[in-house]
Amino acid sequence: MESMRPPPSPLVDSYVVPGDVVLDLSEMTNQTIKLGTGLRQECDTIQATSAGVLRLSKPNKYWVESSQKRYVPSVEDTILGVVVNTKPDNFLVDIKGPNVAFLPVLSFEGGTRRNIPKLRLVH
């Protein structure tokens, strides 16, 4: 007897752009899927976050294949950066992305308005 599994996304091997809904999780009960680069979960849907071709490999691993070579930072990424400018309440850090990162002094452990961390600028 054949199991009743819904077919993979109709967009597999098609070009997707950021914001496209590529999977509806409400139709995929009791299935585990893995998300690769270029995809994110938003409630009961999986959306593309980069432009490229949606790919699927067994078992249920989806990703967006693109020719993009530049790093696009995401929330919760662990990064290494270089302090390029300091302000009274924040640091500007080059993380080799499209923009510099904004790092508040209060985000450091023990960092307060009176106890500001000392970071050297790279010239």
Determine the length of the chain: 123
Give how many domains the chain has, as a whole number: 2
Within-domain flag for 7: no
What are the strands of the beta sheet with 21-24, ordered from one edge? 21-24, 45-48, 39-42
Does residue 48 contact residue 16 with C-beta atoms inside 8 Å? yes
The CATH number assigned to the domain holding 45 equals: 2.40.50.100
Within-domain flag for 2: no
3-class DSSP state for residue 63?
strand
Closest by Cα among 59, 66, 14, 9 to 37: 66
Which residue range forms the structural domain that includes residue 31?
15-65
Instruction: Indicate the pTM of the whole model.
Output: 0.51
Give me the tens of pLDDT residue by residue for the chain, a chain 123 residues long. Answer: 444 454 567 888 889 998 899 998 887 777 888 898 889 998 889 999 888 999 998 888 999 998 877 777 777 778 888 888 888 788 888 887 788 888 887 777 766 666 666 666 665
Whether residue 121 is found in the same domain as residue 88 = yes
Instruction: Quote the CA–CA distance of 87 and 79 in Å, as a whole number.
Output: 21
Whether residue 42 is found in the same domain as residue 77 = no
Sign of CA dihedral 60, 61, 66, 67: negative
